[in-house]
Amino acid sequence: MENATNPLLDSFARVLRQRRLAAGLSQEELAHRAGLSMRYVSLLESRKHMPSLDTMQGLARGLGMSLTDLVSEAEAGLRDGPET
């Protein structure tokens, strides 16, 4: 599976989960805010899907942040590597 070894996907999934938890949101709550299904949010956090730009915009809005900030954090995760 191509996405399984995609560093950007790994970083995005990590940031998405960290930001969701920091906001005190369940996957269901974030999904509702972003106009997505809870299953899809779960798949994104599990690195099973690469989100579209529209999906990332909805997630950013649901997290109360800009798309630019969400993507920047994912890019920073590429430079910093995975957390231990």
Residues 84 and 73: beta-carbon distance below 8 Å:
no
Give the pLDDT of residue 2. Answer: 43
Whether the pLDDT of residue 81 is over 90: the answer is no
* pLDDT mean over 64-76: 96
Taking each helix axis as running N to C, give the angle between helix 38-45 and helix 7-22, from 0 to 180 degrees, rounded to the nearest 10. 120
* The CATH number of domain 2-75 is 1.10.260.40: yes
- What is the value of pTM for the model shown? 0.86
Give the pLDDT of residue 14. Answer: 96
From the number of C-beta atoms within 10 Å of its C-beta (0-12, 13-18, 19+), residue 4 rates as: exposed
* pLDDT mean over 20-39: 98
| Residue among 13, 15, 5 at smallest CA distance from 51 | 13
* In the chain, where the domains are located: 2-75
Whether the pLDDT of residue 1 is over 60: the answer is no
